[in-house]
A and B are shown apart, each in its own frame.
Chain A
Amino acid sequence: QVQLVESGGGVVQPGGSLRLSCAASGFTFSSYGMHWVRQAPGKGLEGVAFIRYSGSDKYYADSVKGRFTISRDNSRSTLYLQMNSLRAEDTAVYYCAKDGPLLAVNFYYMDVWGKGTTVTVSS
Chain B
Amino acid sequence: QSVLTQPPSVSAAPGQKVTISCSGSNSNIGNDYVSWYQQLPGTAPKLLIYDNDNRPSGIPDRFSGSKSGTSATLGITGLQTGDEADYYCGTWDSSLSAWVFGGGTNLIVL
Q: Which residues of A contact B (CB under 8 A)?
A: 35, 37, 44-47, 50, 59-62, 95, 97, 100, 106-111, 113-116
Contact = CB atoms under 8 A, between A and B. Distances in A.
B50 A108 contact: yes
B104 A110 contact: no
Interface residues of B, number: 26
Nearest to B98: A61
A45 B96 contact: no
Interface in B6-65: 32-33, 35, 37, 39, 44-47, 50-51, 56
Nearest to A115: B44
Given A107-B92, A109-B35, A109-B51, A47 B44 contact: no
B110 to A, nearest CB: 23
B98 A109 contact: no
Chain B contact residues: helix, strand, loop or mixed: strand
A109 B47 contact: yes
A33 to B, nearest CB: 10
Given A59-B97, A109-B47, A109-B51, 20 more contacts: A35-B99, A44-B88, A44-B104, A45-B37, A46-B101, A47-B101, A61-B98, A97-B45, A106-B92, A107-B99, A108-B33, A108-B35, A108-B51, A109-B90, A110-B37, A110-B47, A110-B90, A113-B44, A113-B47, A114-B44
Most B Cβ at <10 Å: residue of A44, A59, A95, A100 = A44
Contact of B50 (A44, A47, A109): A109
Contacts, number: 68
Contacts of B103: 44
Contact of B98 (A44, A50, A97): A50
Given A95-B45, A109-B47, A110-B47, A47 B98 contact: yes
Nearest to B46: A113
B98 A45 contact: no
B100 A110 contact: no
A110 B35 CA distance: 8
Contact of A116 (B44, B100, B104): B44
B2 interface: yes
A50 B99 contact: yes
B44 A44 contact: no
